[in-house]
Structure 1
Amino acid sequence: MAEQRLRALAGPEAALREDQWRAVRALVLERQRTLVVQRTGWGKSAVYFVATALLRELGEGPTVIVSPLLALMRNQVEAAAAAGVHAATINSANPEEWASIEEEVAVGAVDVLLVSPERLNNPEFRDNVLTELTHTTGLLVVDEAHCISDWGHDFRPDYRRLRSLLAELPEGVPVLATTATANDRVVHDVSEQLGVTGDDGATESPLVLRGELDRQSLHLGVLDLSDTPRRLAWLAENLPTLPGSGIIYTLTVSTAEEVADFLTRQGFTVAAYSGRTGAAERGSAEQALLNNEVKALVATSALGMGFDKPDLGFVVHLGAPPSPISYYQQIGRAGRGVRRAEVLLLPGREDQRIWDYFTSLTFPPESTVRAVLNTLEQADGPLSTAALEPHVELSRSRIEMVLKVLDVDGAVRRVKGGWTATGRRWDYDAERYRRIAEQREHEQRAMLDYLTTTGCRMQFLRSALDDPGARPCGRCDNCTGRGFTAEVSAETLTQAEHQLRRAGTTLTPRRMWPAGMKEVGVDVAGRIPAGEQHEPGRALGRLTDIGWGNRLRELLSPQAPDTGVPEELVQACVGVLADWDWSRRPAGVISVGSLRRPELVSSLAERIAAIGRLPLLPPVSPVSGHAPTAGPNSARRLAELWNRFEVPSGGDLSGLGGPLLLVDDYTDTGWTLTVVSRLLRRAGAVGVLPLTLATT
């Protein structure tokens, strides 16, 4: 029966591997908790679909699969159908189907329910669906189980809620945890969390099935190209020679978009894929790759765990991930069903800076976390993350992360309308956070070692994952002494340089004031009046760009001296102005008075006014003698800026007859431009057109 189910899933010649049999036997006959650590493409999903089919025939309840990404869910629903298993998913992309799926689950019509870890603490799902599922499920599957562990390369606070779910399962319900990327420390940590504590207090460890991690189809290499234009040119010239279709990974969203734009202009059919891509666009992009309708998706790590395309022919990284383990996870997308797949890493000078940025977003200090907890304890009712912003020194995304950790630790609870404090004691585990930070630094050093190793690259990655069978692969560039050439033609290099010199990105005006501003002494709320907003503006480039970003980061670095604006940037700004499709030409130029870079900002305004033959007005002056701090969220930032500026003396601007071009060095949150534009509009300016050198 198990073999029949497998053949329906994987084809008429398929047969269960020995460890697949052991896992199915442990789950179905022995009802044992099992951890499977096997390479990508080994067939971990076959284990839980075959086990589900057999358990359902024995009359057991549905399987619940906790899965981290939508790409995995879409693939798994289709794979389950092939095995004669009815699967459904509840995630952020299908809210219109939730009610009907929950009804199907209630009447037993669903064999497999896939849910994201975030859904486990959605109040309605937790109270109306999860409680019943906990008592009726026949099998719980934790996919990408390294996410449970603090030491996993992709730890997610939501996954820690599984500890509570595991503790609440009735006795005898089997549990399967699977991952391809777990070193010894992660295996030990996950095993402890999967263990069953008996009546005598002893913990029974799960069955651990761990295999070798070599992927014989993968041919690894590293190509160190001197600069960004050369890397883009290399991609353009070598993409046609790479087998089939594949993935080009980048470290940032803006890089993914810029690379996709360049390759499209070079005649390739590619698409960008990131956290900024809408759910519908993601689905269509994934399908286009599955159907070989695109040569590549240019993606961030948003396209990661679970995406299943057996004939994926290559994975190229434009920039190195921060650890060998996460790198192994991503390259595992390639070569599952083909004899040879190319895996190439093109490191960049900016990689370390990007790693440092993401490292800075680790768990905040105790005083900041206490501020979140104290605010909830003193509130009259639930507070949303937006309502918490004025009270804490954290961005909204980091507030959400802190709340998830506090929730798992039992100190807060998510309810309808927001979050509340539970009143339970909570201790800040500073030692654990310190050790995690040290581990991340160790992983970054290991990734740098991977770039420069003269030994086998696959052996290096397998050793990083504590694979006892790690040995030279005989396939990588170091083993064979052969690799891709770094040469590119002068023509393609020139085209890449021209692409990177393209200037101009839109600055979208703020439309709404942050929530809770009255609580911090700023009497505004709701929508910003149209007559107080600025019009869509322009920045020369993003600080994260691989083109102008490098030059702008150098100029705007805190260590850089304040100097007059370089002529190359002036001419680039002139190009931005020439391409600007404004409805009315500016009638004058005004700058934001800067305390950090007064010479840079004033010289830019002077040059633009002179070139455009426009009157130059005195700058909008900062009131105090020190620069406002960079608030961690919109509410804090706006409160800092609210009374910081004043319009030049005599401030009636109603007689200009056209909008003002407002010049500044860079914009981050957009609140400085919003506050200054409001002042100018209230002083009579008929419109404000912001122009900055950079945006973040």
Structure 2
Amino acid sequence: MTSAATDLRSDAESLLRELAGPHARLRDDQWVAIEALVVHRRRALVVQRTGWGKSAVYFISARLLRARGHGPTVIVSPLLALMRNQVESAARAGVRAATINSGNVTEWDEIHQRIADGDVDVLLVSPERLNNPDFRDQVLPALAADAGLVVVDEAHCVSDWGHDFRPDYRRIRTLVAELGDGIPVLATTATANDRVVADVSAQLGVGGDGSAGAETLVLRGGLERESLSLAVVRIDEATKRAAWLGQRLHSLPGSGIIYTLTVSAARDLAGLLADQGHVVAAYTGQTDPAEREQLEADLLDNRVKALVATSALGMGFDKPDLGFVVHLGAPSSPISYYQQVGRAGRSTDRAEVVLLPGHEDRQIWSYFASVAFPREHVVRRVLEVLDLERPQSTQALEPLVELNRSRLEMVLKVLDVDGAVRRVRGGWIGTGQPWVYDAARYERLERARASEQQAMVDYQSTTMCRMEFLRRQLDDPLLGDAAAPCGRCDNCTGTTPDATVDEEAIARARARLDRPGVDLAPRKQWPTGLAKLGVSLSGKITDGPETGRVLGRLSDLGWGQRLRALFDGPDGPVPDAVVDAAITVLAAWDWPERPTAVLALESGTRPQLVSSLSARLAQVGRLTDLGTLRRTPGHPPVSAANSAYRVAGLAGAWLVPDSIAVDGPILLVDDLTDTGWTLTMAARELRAAGAGAVLPFALASVS
């Protein structure tokens, strides 16, 4: 090692001690990465397990580059929690850091000025900012020309082979290609198999001599986590699994995270555990950003036993002494599972990791897979309706295509990266550039997704070492052909956790989770652009239904399981237990005026179920039975997810009598509600025929 290199390593070691404590020393690969970035100005991909010290590499490199007169480091980071942790880490290393994200909009102008004045060493930005017109056109060009270093954190998001692909992350490929000469790039992730590594390194290597991947240094480490004790507990019913967890939560070490697959499951489980005296809280993608920050602080300071979270609390949350991670429901990929359990045991000798899989997991996986990139004809329609000169907002485009707003936004982002559209002030415009639908790639992605789902099923039943299984799924480079048991998991030790649950605990959990009834909020505003579809409705909805009720959500831990079983089976008369639960919900309904009549909405899939439920409710409640509201013969079924298309498709969908002579509100009964537009449009037509208030009641809602 030359004298200059020795001095640089000494400086790097000194900075590491500022960051991590007086006894910290650089790992060999940390130094290799720092030297490659600072001295050789290379591009590097570092794939190392959580807790290895990837952030130390880029904060130390940023400080060293700044000392050499280079510009600020730009870190593209996916989560607000991750940004908050990184800003705090940067301050410990004497790095002046700032962040631009959706949570600090009021500070953007000030930060832009600080960047222009040279008062920022590290700028953390969310991937969405990269295509914000003001940031992209006014701030980004100067950063791209003068950046000291560009860092892509959680780089697996760049690749649509990764477990957490995000369209906005693909913009980084364009950013990297436009960087000034000699600007190094560092990508980091803890979760990437061979396929993702090859894809990410190729995208980062584009530029320079033009050959994909030629400039990228790849440093991969082993994925063994010596503190994690993995186990799988098989319990046949969701309520029993929740009761099992309630019984054992107090015995798990320290504080931790309990993951669920859906928002409603997180809320239900948090409510159950709180009722049992556990100090827990729900943390989901729907949690307000300010509340998220407080919940993260509560977990960091051990003020809660656990956060019951969706994958919203995944990447970037840094609590080295996290004592346990429990999954109530299996993620769809061993890669994402490893990423989440990797939150635990970073600075402890032992951390408990428990998976409680359920039969319903596959249904939830299937739902999330169904909202992937749409078929070619749907995407082509988006390109057809885009103007080449006049910007159109996502809201204005929505009624012109058969996509709901979130999927439309995703499609536009992908098309933007592909150069077919461009985001500008006021919305989106077409570029007129040719675009090819890569059907073969999307088919490969579907096969890869199915393969990963099967691997997650295999993980649950494998008799081999569970840590070895996960390491092989992630193509751990330090794992040879021979078996490498961890010696800690349930399979290695032969000590499977006791799956028995106290009957009294099950009864209490069932009483809490089976408490039927969920509010069904009415639609309050007509979708925009209905006039373009021949429907003269706009503004506030003044003639729709009242607030309604559903028996339960399909994703609920309690009634969700029963309702899924009911809907999965053959059509038939409503079971007595369902009628009893419906009566309980109706009895607790605080309506201003009791209904005097009941009417069933004709169902195309479960006509007996709906009509028999309506008849039973009429009998028990002594309501006038108005029978069934029939569909108009020949009226096409409505399948569009987009709100405007659904409303247009539901216009004239029922054979409503010219007049409805009923004195009092009508209870309108349906089997399953998703968007709420079916009940809204049916109620509107009933009211137009003279009905008073319409009170919707459905057996289930999708979410």
TM-score by length of 1: 0.96
After superposition, the C-alpha distances for 1:215-258 in whole angstroms (9 at most, x for unaligned) are: 11111111111211210111011100100110111111111111
After superposition, the C-alpha distances for 1:506-539 in whole angstroms (9 at most, x for unaligned) are: 100101111111111111112212xx13221100
Cα separation, partners in 2 of 1:310 and 1:3, compared to 1, 3 Å: same
Which residue of structure 2 lines up, in the alignment, with residue 172 of structure 1? 182
Paired amino acid for 1:134 = A
Moved more, 385-394 or 403-412: 385-394
Cα separation, partners in 2 of 1:238 and 1:202, compared to 1, 3 Å: closer
Which residue of structure 1 lines up, in the alignment, with residue 660 of structure 2? 651
After superposition, the C-alpha distances for 1:121-169 in whole angstroms (9 at most, x for unaligned) are: 1111111211121112111000011111122111211111111111111
TM-aligned CA deviation for residue 23 of structure 1? 1.2
After superposition, the C-alpha distances for 1:420-457 in whole angstroms (9 at most, x for unaligned) are: 10001111111111111111111111111111111111
Which residue of structure 1 lines up, in the alignment, with residue 561 of structure 2? 550
TM-aligned CA deviation for residue 331 of structure 1? 0.5
Cα separation, partners in 2 of 1:144 and 1:618, compared to 1, 3 Å: same
The 5-angstrom pairing of residues 200-599 of structure 1 reads: 204-377=214-387, 381-470=390-479, 471-529=484-542, 532-557=543-568, 560-599=569-608
CA–CA separation in structure 2 for the residues paired with 1:342 and 1:666? 39
CA–CA separation in structure 2 for the residues paired with 1:252 and 1:376? 34
SS in 2 for 1:371: helix
Which residue of structure 1 lines up, in the alignment, with residue 674 of structure 2? 668
SS in 1 for 2:625: coil
Which residue of structure 1 lines up, in the alignment, with residue 58 of structure 2? 48
CA–CA separation in structure 2 for the residues paired with 1:647 and 1:437? 44
Which residue of structure 1 lines up, in the alignment, with residue 8 of structure 2? none
TM-aligned CA deviation for residue 590 of structure 1? 2.4
Paired amino acid for 1:384 = S
> Is the CA contact (8 Å cut-off) linking 2:181 and 2:208 kept in structure 1?
no
Paired amino acid for 2:123 = L
Paired amino acid for 2:125 = V
Paired amino acid for 2:422 = R
Which residue of structure 2 lines up, in the alignment, with residue 36 of structure 1? 46
TM-aligned CA deviation for residue 647 of structure 1? 3.0
> Is the CA contact (8 Å cut-off) linking 1:619 and 1:648 kept in structure 2?
no
SS in 1 for 2:257: strand
CA–CA separation in structure 2 for the residues paired with 1:196 and 1:583? 65
After superposition, the C-alpha distances for 1:486-513 in whole angstroms (9 at most, x for unaligned) are: 1111110111222232100110010111
Root-mean-square deviation (CA), in Å? 1.6
Moved more, 122-131 or 624-633: 624-633
> Is the CA contact (8 Å cut-off) linking 2:398 and 2:644 kept in structure 1?
yes
> Is the CA contact (8 Å cut-off) linking 2:238 and 2:561 kept in structure 1?
no
Paired amino acid for 2:456 = M
CA–CA separation in structure 2 for the residues paired with 1:693 and 1:621? 19
After superposition, the C-alpha distances for 1:254-307 in whole angstroms (9 at most, x for unaligned) are: 111111111111111111111121212211111111111111111111111111
SS in 2 for 1:308: coil
2:647 to 638, 653, 656: 638
SS in 1 for 2:141: helix
The 5-angstrom pairing of residues 619-638 of structure 1 reads: 619-625=628-634, 628-638=637-647
TM-aligned CA deviation for residue 29 of structure 1? 1.4
TM-score by length of 2: 0.95
CA–CA separation in structure 2 for the residues paired with 1:245 and 1:201? 48
Which residue of structure 2 lines up, in the alignment, with residue 605 of structure 1? 614
Moved more, 265-274 or 582-591: 582-591
TM-aligned CA deviation for residue 659 of structure 1? 2.4
Unaligned runs of 5+ in 1: none
SS in 1 for 2:396: helix
CA–CA separation in structure 1 for the residues paired with 2:699 and 2:273? 26
CA–CA separation in structure 1 for the residues paired with 2:240 and 2:603? 36
Which residue of structure 1 lines up, in the alignment, with residue 685 of structure 2? 679
Aligned length: 688
SS in 1 for 2:282: strand
Paired amino acid for 1:303 = L
Unaligned runs of 5+ in 2: 1-10
Paired amino acid for 2:261 = L
TM-aligned CA deviation for residue 35 of structure 1? 1.0
> Is the CA contact (8 Å cut-off) linking 1:314 and 1:334 kept in structure 2?
yes
CA–CA separation in structure 2 for the residues paired with 1:47 and 1:199? 26
CA–CA separation in structure 1 for the residues paired with 2:560 and 2:248? 25
After superposition, the C-alpha distances for 1:329-376 in whole angstroms (9 at most, x for unaligned) are: 110100111111001111100111111122222221111111111111
Paired amino acid for 1:333 = R
